[in-house]
Amino acid sequence: MTIISKISRKLYTVIGISLLLNASQSWADSIQGEKGTIDITPLIHSSVQLEYNGFVVQVDPWAAIDISHAKTADLILVTDSPGHHLDTNAISDLSDSDTSIIIAANGLDQIPDGVVAANGELLKVAGIEVEAVAAYDIILGPPEHPKGDANGYVLRLGGKKFFFAGVTECVDEVKALKEIDVAFMPMNIPVGRMTPKAAADCTKILSPDVVYTYHYDQDWVRRLANPDFGGSVLPGNLTVPETLNAFENELAGSGIEFRRANWYPE
């Protein structure tokens, strides 16, 4: 692989802080595919591993935890350019000479050999069909996610359609998606974007069989840089666990299965 050299690491430095968190804190799940089980392993924040019949997909791999238990990817999807989405160390560690990497154009400086996917583009990479979906803000204000800058992805694997929304609100391009089986939806994004109700309402439009919320504890990420960070105030003065409860309550009666995952180790 010519992107970056392959390096074995057990200790990772993230935003100036060295972290080594127990791999046993990860949590694995599965759904049934056409020809076997599709294993789903939420890793951290918006980092997810899928495995189907030996084919491994990594989404936004991030080495804020020990990822030595994660598997080398056949395909890596990167939604955006900040380090908790595009971590070149994690990408290197989970890649080999056969790994394909799909990125948004904003990541080209960091991954010059990546396959750039524009919003709305349909690609077939490593034998897998991937659609790049627009991911952007409706409510304006910092941190900004402008239209055309970042991607979500629809991935077809094992006869199922997975949607990794990235950091977005419920924009028209998201609402237009059909026949999603498993959705990963962001929540609690500053500044009041994707509240539990907004995330749940968007999920109900997509109507997947299964939904995970991810990228929902921004304070956890901030404390990597500043352990003394006091915490931000979420809409309605809810705590992060309370937002998960609120999201689940908003889905009541929808028939959509909400699966909670351990995205943030203690």
Average pLDDT over every residue of 107-133: 96
- Out of 4-8, 28-32, 107-111, 173-177, least confident range: 4-8
Contact 49, 41 (CB under 8 A): yes
pLDDT at 125: 92
- Out of 7-16, 67-76, 124-133, 207-216, least confident range: 7-16
Helix locations, the chain, DSSP H: 88-93, 172-175, 196-206, 218-225, 240-250
For the stretch 135-164, pLDDT in tens is 999 999 999 999 999 999 999 999 999 999
- CB burial class (10 A; 0-12, 13-18, 19+) of residue 25? middle
DSSP, collapsed to helix, strand or coil, labels residue 143 as coil
Side-chain half-sphere of 254: how many Cα atoms within 13 Å?
Answer: 21
DSSP state for residue 12 in the 8-state scheme: E
- 27: confidence class by pLDDT, cuts 50, 70, 90: low
How much is the pTM?
Answer: 0.90
The distance from CA 56 to its chain's CA centroid, rounded to whole angstroms, is 15
- pLDDT greater than 60 at residue 253: yes
Contact 55, 38 (CB under 8 A): no
pLDDT at 240: 96
- Out of 7-21, 81-95, 210-224, least confident range: 7-21
For the stretch 50-104, pLDDT in tens is 999 999 999 999 999 899 999 999 999 999 999 999 999 999 999 999 999 999 9
Q: Tell me which architecture the domain covering 19-258 has in CATH.
A: 4-Layer Sandwich (3.60)
Output the CA–CA distances (angstroms, integers) from residue 1 to 93, 100, 154, in the order listed. 11, 10, 25
- 20: confidence class by pLDDT, cuts 50, 70, 90: very low
Neighbours of 75 (CB within 10 A): 23
Side-chain half-sphere of 145: how many Cα atoms within 13 Å?
Answer: 25
- pLDDT greater than 60 at residue 16: no
In the chain, the percentage of residues whose pLDDT exceeds 90 is 86
* Residue linked to tokens 């759904």: 31
- Of 15 and 69, the one with more pLDDT: 69
Side-chain half-sphere of 26: how many Cα atoms within 13 Å?
Answer: 21
Domain ranges of the chain: 19-258
